[in-house]
Structure 1
Amino acid sequence: MRKKLVLPYLLLIVLILSACSGGFKEEHNYKIEPFEFTNQHNAKVSLDDMKGKVWLAQFIFTVCTSACPPMMSNMADLDKQLIDEGVEDYKIVSFSIDPTVDTPELLQEYLDLYDVQDQSKWEMLTGYSQEKITDFAAKSFKTLVADIPDSDQVMHATYFSLVNKKGEVVKTYNGMVDVPFDQIVKDMKALSKEGA
Structure 2
Amino acid sequence: MKRLAWVPVCAALWTGCSRSTDIPSYYPLPEFSLTDQAGKSVTLRDLAGRVWVADFIFTSCGGTCPLITAKMRKLQEVLPPEIRLVSITVDPARDTPEILAAYAGEHGAAGDRWLFLTGDKQALYDLCVKGFKLPLDTEGGTAAEPIVHSTRFVLVDKRGEIRGYYSGIEEDELKRLAIDANRLS
TM-score by length of structure 2 reads 0.83
One-letter code aligned to 2:133 = K
One-letter code aligned to 2:158 = K
TM-superposed deviation, 1:149:
5.3
1:14-55 CA deviation, whole Å, 9 max, x = no partner?
A: xxxxxxx93232344211110111000000001000000000
Pick the aligned partner of 2:131 from 137, 140, 160.
Answer: 140
Aligned-partner Cα distance in 1 for 2:114–2:83: 9
Pick the aligned partner of 1:169 from 149, 162, 170.
Answer: 162
One-letter code aligned to 1:181 = L
Larger Rg: 1
Hey, what does 1:68 align to over in structure 2?
Answer: 65
Instruction: Say how many residue pairs are matched.
Output: 166
Whether 2:50 is the aligned partner of 1:57: answer no
Hey, what does 1:188 align to over in structure 2?
Answer: 181
Say which is worse superposed, 175-184 or 93-102, in terms of deviation. Answer: 175-184
Aligned-partner Cα distance in 1 for 2:108–2:97: 19
Pick the aligned partner of 2:26 from 7, 26, 29.
Answer: 29
TM-superposed deviation, 1:166:
0.3
**Runs ≥4 residues deviating over 6 A:** none
Hey, what does 2:9 align to over in structure 1?
Answer: none
Q: Percent identity?
A: 31
Hey, what does 1:125 align to over in structure 2?
Answer: 117
TM-score by length of structure 1 reads 0.79
One-letter code aligned to 2:117 = L
SS in 1 for 2:116: strand
Hey, what does 1:156 align to over in structure 2?
Answer: 149
Aligned-partner Cα distance in 2 for 1:133–1:38: 11
Aligned pair in 2 of structure 1 residues 169, 43: CA closer, same or farther (>3 Å)? Answer: same
Aligned-partner Cα distance in 2 for 1:42–1:70: 25
**Runs of 5+ unmatched residues, structure 2:** 1-16
Whether 2:102 is the aligned partner of 1:109: answer yes
SS in 2 for 1:64: coil
1:54-108 CA deviation, whole Å, 9 max, x = no partner?
A: 00000000011111000000110111011xxxx2322111110000110000001
Do 1:37 and 1:44's aligned partners in 2 also have CA atoms closer than 8 Å?
Answer: yes
Do 2:23 and 2:180's aligned partners in 1 also have CA atoms closer than 8 Å?
Answer: no
